[in-house]
Each structure stands twice: as C-alpha cells, then as structure tokens.
Amino acid sequence: MIKYGLKLWTSNDRKMFEAAADGFRRGEFDFIELYFNQDKPVDEASLDLLRSVPVTIHAPNSGAFHEFMLGEEQVAVWRQVAALADRFESQTIVVHPGRNHTVETFFDELRKIDDRRILIENMPGKDLFDQPMFGHLLDDLERIHEKKPICFDFEKATKAAAYQYADYREYITKCLVALTPDYFHISGGKVGDPTEQHDNLWESDMDFPFIKKVLQDNSADKDVRLVFETPKDPSGLDNDLKNMEFFRDI
C-alpha cells in the first residue's frame, strides 16, 4: 500500500501544525515528514500537537549541510536532529549527500553523524545554484546503498537522467531494481531540465501514470511511504492535499 506523507518544517506556525493534526485524524494523509529548519528556533508547544501523528525527520540541507561538509557546528545541529527523531520515536532521518564528493569523502563525513535511522536521498543533476550534485549517478548510489538505505526522489531522479542525457523512465526503473527503496519523495518538474524544481504535479510533464504504476508494483506486498514535496501555501494545507488528490486520481 502507498502511504501518503505531508511535508512540514519545524519553523511552520502553530496554525499549520493544528491543521496537520486535524488532517491526519480525518485520514487525509498517513504520516508527516518534518524538516528541521536550523535557522529558526523550534516551538516546542506547537510540535506537541503532532504527538499522535507518525513523524519522519528530514535533516537540514542548507549551509554547510548543502555541501555535506560537517564541522563542529554542523555536528551540534545534528544532535538536535537526532533529538527530534527521538522525540517522535522516528526510525527515519532523510539526509542529502551534498556536492563535491566522492563516495569515499562522503562516507568520511557521514561517519561524523552516523545513525542507524539515516536514509540517503538521491540527488538531481544540478542544484538550484546550477552546481552539479553528488548522489545522482546510479553507480554512486549503489555503493551508498551497500551501507545505507535510499530515500528515492522521483523528481530528482528525472533531473539526474536529464543531466546524463538518459531516458528518465529507464533510469528510474534501473534505480528501483538496484536500490530497492520503500521511502519516496515526489514533486513536479520539467523533463529534460537537470535542475531541481519541486513544482506542482499538474505543472509537470513527468509521466505520473508510469510513476504510480512502479510505486504500485513496489507496494504489492509491502507498505511504501510517499512524501509530497510540492509547493506549500503558507495559509494552509490545501495545495498539499490538492497534489495528493491529483496523484490518487491518476
């Protein structure tokens, strides 16, 4: 079964957390992925509103985390990320592998924060700053997968395929066979553009019927989790739910 996940940030306001708790109770989604925003203090009382909701954690990917070059400051931030996972008894912490790495240098950095709950997310060909990303090549992802499970992002995989001048459906199919993920991200983007976008699904020319089919095949005998990383309306959850409904209706 496909489990639908709502993306939130620790910096969202109390109204957003209240809406999320209500939406979960109404069955509008199955869990929340909570991104740790290291640039704003956490409102502990607001987070308590999510106590009854299954929560996974996404580590920061800004600052030095964007390059995954971890000094003492980043390790201190990581302790807060791990504490957040402890708070929600989450067994999942999604981590971006950064840029300007080899597999060896990436694992050198990862050892500084190693945690059994970590999933490594695949990357697009280029980031928003037009810089090539580490973790977009299947060969590298396979070597990472020898030590850590993968969070597989369909939009990022489409962008990685564009960077390699490959057919994105074929690339996705190869990745799913090799990496055996059961935790996924989804958003919209333009096929043929190597730079990540995170658009609404209906604004994209990606083949979502194909993506839904491969997800259904992967969830035939197990649950898979699918987080929607689509644009968020600061006034509420309507746009998140609209993207989920769009995918459900395919």
Question: Phi/psi class of residue 181: alpha, beta or left (left: φ > 0; alpha: ψ in -120 to 50)?
Answer: beta
Q: What is the pLDDT of residue 234?
A: 84
Residue from 49, 48, 42, 31 nearest 9 by CA: 42
pLDDT, residue 23, reads 97
Class of domain 2-248: alpha beta
Please tell me the predicted confidence (pLDDT) of residue 130: 85
> Where do the DSSP E strands lie in the chain?
2-9, 31-35, 55-58, 93-95, 118-121, 150-153, 183-186, 224-228
Q: Model's pTM, two decimal places? A: 0.96
Residue 98 confidence (pLDDT): 94
pLDDT along the chain (250 residues), means of 10: 97 95 97 95 91 97 91 96 97 96 97 97 91 95 98 98 97 97 97 95 98 93 96 92 97
Helix (H, G, I), strand (E, B) or coil at 245: helix
